[in-house]
Amino acid sequence: MSEYLIYSDSACDIKPEILKEWGVDFLPLTFRFSDSDTEYRDGEIDPREFYAKMRAGAVAKTAAVNVERFTEEFDKILASGKDLLYIGFSSGLSTTYNSGRLAAEQLREKYPDRKIFTVDSLSASAGFGLLLYLTVKKKNEGATIEEAAAYAEDLKFRLCHWFTVDDLVYLKRGGRISPTLAFVGNALGIKPVLHMDDEGHLINMFKVRGRRSSVTALADKYGELALDKKGGTVFICHGDCDGDVETLKKVLAEKYGAEVMLVTYTGTVIGAHSGPGTLALFFEGEHR
């Protein structure tokens, strides 16, 4: 059995040093601020600085990874004799996965003896990160590339993404949510609670009054859906709102005995669309 590498992209919102620890390679998506042509790699700017700019009104435009970049990177890996499992950012939100898939297709001819698998995570942010984490865990337990790919394909429909945003204007601006669904967000004090559906699209599920209620609504969803409430792996992502993270952690611990394994910033590319004040909870459930 050949050695295989799990490959990813930066939309998983896991810090490079952690990904390195997991043995996962990745390509960054990119962004630029609308008033300048300077392009930044996802994560190149400190998230605090990035959100401060957004709060001040800066608009960030994002770009997917193109086929060329993937082909270049994948070629190196395959040339080194390793098999490749690419798990990519939801095709419902970005063309990044498709670029990776096309690159993989092209390279199959060149490397007929190499095993190449691609998995559309239909996930985003640390939900995507959680999918990577659990797949890496499977790999470390001795799973073959076929087993790891099959595991990820199955697991992805059970990875729950529940999140709330402070202002739907960002998702609306980036076209990541339909304008009619965004409508509720204009009301004073109304907070939407969203999730990601099985097609990897963002869906506005319901609205609550007040930030506090939206934070506790995420915990309620955990209670409703989490497979292993006490021992499951829980990730939290946030757009620079530490206080709300603490509230959410506290409620999860008090109500369900849940421990949050990883808290991280929503990265600059995802954050460009979700905006400051985004709070997201990721966990394995019975279904999404």
Partner 1 sequence: MFKPGKGEPQSPRTKITLKPVNADKKPAEKKSKPRKTQGKKKDSRDIKYLTGWLMSKMAKGGAKLLRSNAEKVNKLNVFPVPDGDTGDNMRMTIESGIAAIENLDTDDLAEVMRVFSHGMLLGARGNSGVILSQFFAGTAKGFEGAVEADPYTLGRALQMGVKQAYASVMTPTEGTILTVAREAVDYATSKITPSSTIRTFFADFVGEMHESLERTPEALAVLKEAGVVDSGGAGLLYIMEGFNRVLNGEEDGDDEADTAPAEKPKTPAVNSSFGPDSKMEYGYCTELLIQLMRDKTDIDAFDVEPLKEFLSGIGNSIVAFKTDSIVKIHVHTFEPEKVLAHCREFGEFLAVKIENMSVQHTETEGVEPAPEIPVEKKKYGVVAVTNGPGIRDMFIEMGADQTIEGGQTNNPSTNDFLEAFGKIHAECIFVFPNNGNIFMAAQQAAKFYTDAKVVVIPSKDVGTGYVALTAADLSGDDPDAIAEEMKAAMQNVTSGYISPAVRDAEMDGVRISKGDTIGIMGKKIVLSDPDMRCAAYRLAVKLLEEPDKFMLTVFRGAGTTEEDQEDLRRCLEENCPSAEVYFVDGGQEIYPYIFTAE
Binding site for partner 1 (CB under 8 A): 184, 186-190, 206-207, 209-213
Residue 30 CA, distance from chain mean position: 15
3-class DSSP assignment, residue 286: coil
CB of 247 to partner 1, least distance (A): 9
Q: Which is nearer to partner 1, 192 or 267 (CB)?
A: 192
- Residue length, the chain? 288
Q: Which is nearer to partner 1, 150 or 184 (CB)?
A: 184
Q: Which is nearer to partner 1, 1 or 188 (CB)?
A: 188
CB of 207 to partner 1, least distance (A): 7
Contact 175, 62 (CB under 8 A): no
CB of 123 to partner 1, least distance (A): 27
Distance CA 244, CA 27 (A): 30
CB of 69 to partner 1, least distance (A): 42
Element holding 278 (H helix, E strand): none
Place of tokens 């859906």: 225
CB of 208 to partner 1, least distance (A): 8
State both tokens at 30. Answer: 């990119």
CB of 190 to partner 1, least distance (A): 5
State both tokens at 267. Answer: 């990265």
Q: Which is nearer to partner 1, 28 or 276 (CB)?
A: 276
Name the nearest CA neighbour of 286 among 227, 220, 221, 219.
227
41: left (phi over 0), alpha (psi -120 to 50) or beta: beta
Element holding 26 (H helix, E strand): strand 24-27
CB of 182 to partner 1, least distance (A): 13
Q: Which is nearer to partner 1, 161 or 191 (CB)?
A: 191
Distance CA 258, CA 70 (A): 38
Q: Could you count the other beta carbons within 10 Å of the beta carbon of residue 158?
A: 16
Q: Which is nearer to partner 1, 61 or 212 (CB)?
A: 212
Name the nearest CA neighbour of 234 among 262, 214, 215.
262
Q: Which is nearer to partner 1, 56 or 188 (CB)?
A: 188
